[in-house]
Chain A
């Protein structure tokens, strides 16, 4: 086959000196790497925010309708029908609902995140921790407007923020974000191997809703279990709910000092910092499990 070669085809080419080390092409993984690639993370978060309710007419509204409907149910059923004598019961529930919802969304969406982004995971080299972390940030973003509603309601009821309350609030969000990411990492990886994991998560989240003093006051737990109620406080999610109530609900009642003394357990901050510690340990374990399973993730995605 006689070919007339153009200069390019004849193999004349530039010498390209690549000033980089010879390394493994697999990108460095791990949570630290995720935060180093902030631009990519931002893009993923932005796309999640717009994609979570893509194709629905109400769109973003669903992130308010969903918690508001839960608030409504709990308020009506627990507050009016069963009729517990908790002051400002609606606020009491809503405080808890906001952090619990944040946690559950992080956990649930994070667990599904790898599967949902499988087109990318299968073909692009990137730290895959990106996806659960992005889910957490999206949930955080969705928490904003709910908080706004809560704050407006509270202000309307004569609430003024306190320094301790706000520190507690930040601690609650930090703990829930950490613990949520920890679980999301573990379950997202596991979900690739066994789709059953997704169903397990929805059962777990049901337990979470009832395992925290949200639709019932903490005093009830103390009454029933006495000294054993301390064990209840080893649950970081329960602590986060109580921190939220301390930050918002307490200030809306007629006599905040009495309510604080009666409803908020002593040493709540001690328990909460323990909870934060537990969450960071969980995050380390989650990262470990994820890196163990990550290797096989791309080939198991079908």
Chain B
């Protein structure tokens, strides 16, 4: 199968199974086996998911909790490999998965910035050049020199987002980045992501907030229990999810909605 040069992501018939283990110790497993109970069970977190993304497209990935959004992003960024089907991507990938960055809790913010950037493929010189910008955007003050394990979840997310967004990537993944940020930071993030989008990077945006998806994305994919339930136009997709708050919301909530708060 060949794809044009403008293709950014190809997800083709992808499945991912997870094992659910009910019993862990030998004793528990023996007891369960004797009683004829199940020891483990596999379930499909992703089931035959297929879609293609063009470079520069901005996709809103939506779906209920546990529908497989974070799992799909982990396959796209290469942390996990699919059990069936294939995932192909073009260019460098950066982003956040499941709200947090891959930070080491014992390292300071500064050390984590360097480590994270190196894992994402940035050289030492490149990181040093962007370091001030990253720190300024995260705006966590002198906590930069303390272990990130002690950060508030908002601070953790700020630094993670800041590193990810400053990497010169071709694909940007944003999994509920705005969930824990405070209001000014949410605004700043949205602005920055609009810039990312304007630069022609492919954007994968996971959110439960219809308003921010509407602003940010030009296509919506809805996952339902690991299957693609809807793929297409944004307004239709939000309607499909019945997330549209138009009928039962106060103006105050509506405004929050724009900034990506949960509904």
A123 vs B103: C-alpha distance when bound (angstroms): 9
Among A16-24, A198-206, A227-235, the stretch that binds chain B is A16-24
A18–B91 CB distance below 8 A: yes
A276 vs B125: C-alpha distance when bound (angstroms): 38
Q: Collect the chain A residues with CB atoms within 8 Å of residue B111's CB.
A: 47
A295 at the interface (CB under 8 A from B): yes
CB under 8 Å from chain B, chain A span 76-131: 117, 119-120, 122-126
B55 at the interface (CB under 8 A from A): yes
- What residue of chain B has the Cβ atom nearest to residue A300's Cβ? B19
A43 vs B119: C-alpha distance when bound (angstroms): 10
Partner of B170, one of A15, A18, A51: A18
A299 vs B75: C-alpha distance when bound (angstroms): 11
A16–B201 CB distance below 8 A: yes
A9–B194 CB distance below 8 A: yes
Q: Knowing A18-B170, A124-B79, A298-B74 touch, does A47 contact B104 (C-beta < 8 A)? A: yes
A158 at the interface (CB under 8 A from B): no
Q: Collect the chain B residues with CB atoms within 8 Å of residue A13's CB.
A: 56, 197-200
Q: Collect the chain A residues with CB atoms within 8 Å of residue B115's CB.
A: 40, 43-44, 47, 120
A43 vs B56: C-alpha distance when bound (angstroms): 33
Q: Smallest distance from the beta carbon of B211 to chain A beta carbons, Å?
A: 9
B10 at the interface (CB under 8 A from A): yes
Q: Collect the chain B residues with CB atoms within 8 Å of residue A223's CB.
A: none
Q: Smallest distance from the beta carbon of A52 to chain B beta carbons, Å?
A: 11
Partner of A298, one of B80, B90, B92, B118: B80
Q: Knowing A8-B197, A9-B215, A24-B78 touch, does A43 contact B106 (C-beta < 8 A)? A: no
A17–B218 CB distance below 8 A: no
B207 at the interface (CB under 8 A from A): no
Between A1, A16, A37, the greatest number of chain B beta carbons within 10 A of the residue's beta carbon is seen for A16
A22–B3 CB distance below 8 A: yes
A12 at the interface (CB under 8 A from B): yes
Q: Knowing A8-B195, A22-B3, A23-B89 touch, does A43 contact B118 (C-beta < 8 A)? A: yes
A11 at the interface (CB under 8 A from B): yes
B104–A123 CB distance below 8 A: no
Q: Knowing A20-B170, A47-B104, A51-B106 touch, does A25 contact B198 (C-beta < 8 A)? A: no
B107 at the interface (CB under 8 A from A): yes
Q: Mark A288-302, 1 if CB is under 8 A from B, else 0.
A: 000000010011000
Question: How many residues does chain B have at the interface if contact means C-beta atoms less than 8 Å apart?
Answer: 56
A16–B79 CB distance below 8 A: no
B78–A27 CB distance below 8 A: yes
Q: Collect the chain B residues with CB atoms within 8 Å of residue A124's CB.
A: 79, 102, 116, 119-120
CB under 8 Å from chain A, chain B span 1-59: 3, 5-8, 10, 18, 55-56
B78–A119 CB distance below 8 A: no
B194–A123 CB distance below 8 A: no
Partner of B198, one of A14, A24, A39: A14
A35 vs B169: C-alpha distance when bound (angstroms): 23
Question: How many residues does chain A have at the interface if contact means C-beta atoms less than 8 Å apart?
Answer: 39
A16–B124 CB distance below 8 A: no
Compute the total of residue contacts between A and B using a CB distance below 8 Å.
Answer: 123
A13 vs B195: C-alpha distance when bound (angstroms): 9
A126 vs B76: C-alpha distance when bound (angstroms): 13
B86 at the interface (CB under 8 A from A): yes
B86–A24 CB distance below 8 A: yes
A160 at the interface (CB under 8 A from B): no
A1 vs B93: C-alpha distance when bound (angstroms): 34
B106–A11 CB distance below 8 A: no
A169 vs B116: C-alpha distance when bound (angstroms): 37
B153 at the interface (CB under 8 A from A): no
Q: Collect the chain A residues with CB atoms within 8 Å of residue B197's CB.
A: 8, 13
- What residue of chain A has the Cβ atom nearest to residue B175's Cβ? A123
Q: Knowing A43-B115, A119-B103 touch, does A22 contact B7 (C-beta < 8 A)? A: yes
Residues in B lying within 8 Å of A, measured CB to CB: 3, 5-8, 10, 18, 55-56, 74-81, 86-93, 97-98, 100-107, 111, 114-116, 118-120, 123-124, 170, 194-195, 197-201, 214-215, 218, 246
Cβ contacts A to B, 21 pairs, < 8 Å: A13-B56, A13-B197, A14-B199, A15-B200, A16-B55, A16-B56, A16-B201, A22-B10, A22-B89, A24-B86, A25-B87, A26-B79, A26-B81, A40-B115, A40-B119, A54-B106, A119-B104, A123-B100, A125-B119, A298-B79, A298-B80
Beyond the given pairs A124-B102, A125-B93, 18 more chain A to chain B contacts, judged by CB atoms under 8 angstroms and listed by A's residue number, are A9-B215, A14-B199, A15-B56, A16-B199, A16-B201, A21-B90, A23-B88, A26-B78, A27-B78, A37-B118, A51-B107, A120-B102, A120-B119, A122-B79, A123-B74, A124-B116, A126-B119, A299-B18
